[in-house]
Chain A
Amino acid sequence: MNYLWIILGVIFIALSIAAGLIWVERRLLSVWQDRLGPNRVGPFGLAQVIADTLKLFFKEDWVPPFSDKVVFTIAPGILMVTILLTFAVIPFGPEFCVFDSNIGVLFFLGNSSLGVYSIVLGGWASNNKYSLIGAMRASAQMLTYEVFMGLSLMGVVMMADTFSFSEIVEAQRGGWFILPQFLGFVVFFIAGIAETHRLPFDIPEAEGELIAGYHSEYSGMKFGMFFVGEYLGITLISAIIATMFFGGWLGPSFLPPVFWFLLKTFIFIGVFILLRASLPRPRYDQLMKLGWKLLFPIALLNLLVTGAILIFL
């Protein structure tokens, strides 16, 4: 019974944050662009979320006749499923975790690799050259960044001596891992942006050049799933950053641990949106170059130094 509540709670928190982010992002972007943003519907424009969702539901759900219909239909679902599954291993608080797996970090990395399939299949099944180019870019970008996304987390794993998220949080009672693992944090953060293909690394979508990239042909709630999937991805990466580097739910005890966890997550969501507001999109080859020639060596170096220190000190 208790389990059921935790599962429902996690799904509810994740989905409502992802939906609410539609509003949060628009408001925050407008704050940084000297505008007001949506403030008409409901108090502070909060009902904008409901309006947007209803609008998405009532849009015509068009499956292009030239597409591979089965694959086209399941592709958006894969994204949602892989991301929502990962939320299962994240501790929202002590004892507030659906499945406290002892290989949580690996589970997260594996699922984020599976997420690539959603985009590649979606772009491929659309049978549209823009979608295909977007999907190809997405696969190359996400495979590249996955390599050192994993490597950058290994420093933390070595220091905490575990793959389990909740034990990693416990290991940070003496001090957050952001200080000893600063390089790991930077690399993971950049890789996280590329993994969720958020701006400025939204090269698979790149509406300036590719219309909407891999989801050009999607409409209605299928597009909505990609849309919400992206926000879920941001939430997930922010939650992982908070857990791995900023002590997860640890915090002064006058507020419940879940609050600290959500607060840290929200700060990083804000940073994601700030990046969108301030940085231009790099060229595709620049992105690959940055990944292989700068971040990958840094991640390896970080791993090497952490390992050396742990062994010899």
Chain B
Amino acid sequence: MISILRSIWLTFLHIFHKRETVEYPEVKPYLAPRYRGRIVLTRDPDRNERCVACYLCAAVCPVDCISLQAATGEKGRRHPEFFRINFSRCIFCGFCEEACPTNAIQLIPDFEMGEYIRQNLVYEKEHLLISGEGKYHGYNFYKHAGVAMGVKGKGEGDTEYKPVDVKDLMP
């Protein structure tokens, strides 16, 4: 009985509390940098596409909304010929970002992507590709490891050892 009256009174006191509502179009909410919103494809510091068309993101995507096709450029470097994300199916889980070995695909804090025509939610590579590096600065996949692709010589990567001559006995 007392507790009922008490809860009525406490609810009444909420008149004097601060409003929690964010009046959205006028006041933008703060979104953390790691917020999982619209997906972008980024470039490395040399302004080359980071994506190497390895299909890992397409494979991990739980709703199969990524579609891409690999192509090989001159010097043998791979890049996606087309890269398509269907945002009407994407659930913004961020798995693609986790799977990507080159930090190419990234989710950014932008959620204002409503459309009147559903077809407009299918983003092609020209919509996805940005000219910057996104959240991870100064990272160039080819500088670290992997085959010589014109970025670095064999065994000259940041975290790479010189190749060992396996036929030599000297240390």
Residues of chain A at the chain B interface (Cβ within 8 Å): 30-36, 274-275, 277-279
Contacts and interface: CB of A to CB of B under 8 A. Distances in A.
Contacts of A31: 14-15
B15 A279 contact: no
Contact of B15 (A32, A275, A278): A32
B12 A35 contact: no
A31 B17 CA distance: 9
A277 B10 CA distance: 11
Nearest to B6: A278
Contacts of B19: 34-36
Given A31-B14, A31-B15, A36 B21 contact: yes
Contacts of A36: 19, 21, 23
A87 to B, nearest CB: 28
Contacts of A275: 8
27 contacts: A30-B21, A31-B14, A31-B15, A32-B11, A32-B12, A32-B14, A34-B14, A34-B17, A34-B19, A34-B20, A35-B19, A35-B20, A35-B21, A36-B19, A36-B21, A36-B23, A274-B8, A274-B11, A274-B12, A275-B8, A277-B11, A278-B7, A278-B8, A278-B10, A279-B4, A279-B7, A279-B8
Given A32-B14, A34-B14, A36-B19, 16 more contacts: A30-B21, A31-B14, A32-B11, A32-B12, A33-B14, A35-B19, A35-B20, A35-B21, A36-B23, A278-B7, A278-B8, A278-B10, A278-B11, A278-B12, A279-B4, A279-B8
B28 interface: no
Interface of B: 4, 7-8, 10-12, 14-15, 17-21, 23
A275 B9 CA distance: 10
B13 to A, nearest CB: 9
A interface, by DSSP: helix, strand, loop or mixed? helix
Nearest to B4: A279
A32 B10 CA distance: 9
Nearest to B21: A36
B169 to A, nearest CB: 77
A34 B14 CA distance: 7
Contacts of B21: 30, 35-36
B29 to A, nearest CB: 14
Nearest to B11: A278
A192 to B, nearest CB: 16
Nearest to A28: B15
B95 to A, nearest CB: 34
A35 B15 CA distance: 10
Nearest to A275: B8
B62 to A, nearest CB: 31
Contacts of B17: 34
Contacts of A35: 19-21
A236 B21 CA distance: 33
